[in-house]
Amino acid sequence: MALTSLHGCPAPAKLNLFLHVTGRRPDGYHLLQSVFQLIDHGDTLDFDLRSDERIVRALRALQAEYRRRHGRLPPGIDVRIDKRLPMGGGLGGGSSDAATALMAANALWQAGLRDAELMAIGLPLGADIPFFLFGETAFAEGVGEALQAVPGPDCWYVVIEPGVTVPTAAIFTAPDLTRNTKPITVADFLGRQALRNDLQDVATRLFPPVAEAVEWLSGHGAARMTGSGACVFSAFSSEQEAEQVLKKVPAKWIAWKAKSLTKHPMKSLLQINEL
């Protein structure tokens, strides 16, 4: 029986466990290395097929591919979002929403596209979208699209939202941004050698609340900014440890705890709905 709706679809946040800028392409895009980690905190989306062909912008490329394969447009889809992830937080909220929308539409339309095909459709929409479609802890290179599965930590995180929005462009255009970090290997990451976020120095200089959050959280464990900011995180071995630190976070900040994920929860939801 064909699906007509998918409700409660998760769009989890990601953390950059490290982020190195290793160079720059002739077209201006920066070459990166990072490890993306999914966590169990994020937005939630609902999808319902329509009687007409209207869709949200993120699904237009998938709609065009469906038309190429089937010679007709699929039905439109209504999308509702319960938004929890902040804009400009470095958590990949918009990219995660788009990836969940692509996975849901692929199922609702019975389009049959494989993950790699969805990733190719998603990349022009946002460099982080392929990771969310990949759906597991990944060592990322290039502009973030070259992904290799790696074992991720089994831990809890405390994440602080410093209350500012950090425009990605402001970080990557800064003249003092480090752009020549020596590339590392997966083995280097697993050995936790010389890992940092090359964007953090610029972000903390331009946005003092980020610097303040890093400094405060560093008093309770190794703290690092995720992505281009503004959110700051630290890892803890147990939920109890994370909860103890969370209770101490100053009231001026929004803060929360989250568990590391080994697999995108949308994958499991789709498997359940296919039974």
Q: Dump strand ranges (E) for 58-152.
A: 77-82, 138-141, 146-149
Does the structural domain 5-274 have CATH classification 3.30.230.10?
yes
How would you classify residue 144: left for phi > 0, otherwise alpha for psi between -120 and 50, otherwise beta?
left
- Cα–Cα dist 58/60, whole Å: 6
Predicted local confidence at residue 203, as pLDDT: 97
Average pLDDT over residues 80-91: 96
> 194-253, pLDDT tens digit by residue?
789 999 999 999 999 999 999 999 999 999 999 999 999 999 999 999 999 999 999 999
Supply the pLDDT for residue 24.
92
DSSP secondary structure code for residue 59 in this structure: G
pTM surpassing 0.85?
yes
Residue range 95-121: mean pLDDT, rounded = 97
Q: What percent of the chain has pLDDT over 70?
A: 99
Domain boundaries defined on the chain: 5-274
Tens digit of pLDDT for each residue in 126-165?
Answer: 999 999 999 999 999 998 889 999 999 999 999 999 999 9
Residue 8 to residues 53, 81, 122, Cα–Cα distance (Å): 22, 9, 21
Which pLDDT belongs to residue 275? Answer: 43
Q: Three-state SS string across 6-36, please?
A: EEEEEEEEEEEEEEEEEEECCCCCEEEEEEE
Q: Is a pLDDT exceeding 80 seen at residue 1? A: no
Which residues are part of the catalytic machinery? 14, 128
| The predicted structure's pLDDT at residue 107 | 96
List, in sequence order, every residue forming a beta bridge with 235; answer none if it has no partner.
157
**Under 8 Å between Cβ of 10 and 265:** yes
